[in-house]
Amino acid sequence: MNKKQQDILEEAHKLFIEKGYLDTSIQDILERSDISKGTFYKYFSSKSELLLSFLSTLQETMIVQREKLADEYTDSDCHMFEKQMIFMMDFIAENNISKIIETTLVLNEKKIFHYIEELKISTLNWIYKRFQQIFPQGKHSELFDGAVLFDGMLNNVLRTNKMLNTSLTIEHAVRYCMEHTKKMIETGIGNREPLFSEKVITSLFEERRDEHSSTEFIRVTSALKRFVKNNVWDETKQKECLEIITFIYDEVLEDNASPRKFIISSSLSSLEQIEPVTGSRELEEYKRGLNRFIGNSATKGEH
């Protein structure tokens, strides 16, 4: 995305907050951004297309910053997960994302509705994966139930807090919900059979994993960086690993360019030779996320 597109999205964001999405016209965006109608349609086919681009940009920004929070911590740190959740809730509140999304619900626009549903599923998937790291001994279906309960509990607590206009902070709400979820998971969530089977869980995320390949790549990149910082003790090797990972990240996410696969492959081969990165779970997840994202980028470039 170039600077002109970013400027248009920033001005549109301000208008969405001031007037609401429904009451903001394309003409409002043209005047605020000081652009012509031709320039607008060069980048966006409609106001709804602009909204999707805006939400996608915010989502990627949030994920990058969320993963950076955990760079100095281990994946199993429950407190770090809480900090990430607090950051996400603060980010959503500061950017008025919930309010903007709520105003679109009266529209019969399938693309927007579908994208919002995918955002919810993407967040649930991330919570589920983090629970697998925080509670490594738990059964997958049990942890998925826990992720569903935590996500639902937190959103309803925050919604009720807003409705009652109380002084409950996001931090307090996140820690409260996590404390109760942790107790449920550790005691087997009432010692009952899980609500959702592993087959259902797998199919849910397998069907959608390619649609969020860029955010998944960001996640596995950050996870591999944390692994390197916590497990590669030789400073020279650690620096080399991090430089390779950063180089691949920049190469893959470079705007307006196709990733140079031969260079990425060579860099990845060098990374695979460094112990204890070789054969690690984090490296294997990273490679899958990288290959999926590169494949999707190439496919999109063909159309």
pLDDT greater than 70 at residue 6: yes
Q: Is the pLDDT of residue 152 over 90?
A: yes
Is-contact 212 122, C-beta < 8 A?
A: yes
- Calpha distance 92→251 (Å, rounded): 29
Give the separation between CA 39 and CA 94, rounded to whole angstroms.
Answer: 29
Q: Are 154 and 85 in contact (CB under 8 A)?
A: yes
Q: What distance in Å separates the CA atoms of residue 84 and residue 98, rounded to the nearest whole number? A: 18
Residue-wise pLDDT tens digits, 157-190: 999 998 999 989 999 999 999 999 998 888 776 5
Q: Which two tokens stand for residue 140?
A: 């997958």
Q: For residue 261, what pLDDT is reported?
A: 87
Tokens linked to 170: 């996001």
Write down the pLDDT at residue 88.
Answer: 95
Cβ contact 188:142 at 8 Å: yes
Q: What is the pLDDT of residues 256-290, one digit of tens each?
A: 457 788 899 999 999 999 999 999 989 998 999 89
Look at 244 and 42; give whichever has higher pLDDT.
Answer: 244
Arithmetic mean of pLDDT over the chain: 84
From CA 119, how far away is CA 92, in angstroms rounded? 12
What global pTM score does this model have? 0.73
pLDDT digits (tens, 9 = 90+) for 17-61: 888 888 899 999 999 999 999 989 888 888 888 988 888 888 888
Most confident range (mean pLDDT) of 72-81, 91-100, 249-258 is 91-100
In whole angstroms, how far apart are CA 176 and each of 8, 82, 202? 39, 10, 29
Q: pLDDT at position 200, please?
A: 74
Q: How many CB atoms lie within 10 A of CB 53?
A: 17
pLDDT value at 70 more than 60: yes
The CB density around residue 254, as the number of other CB atoms within 10 Å, is 11
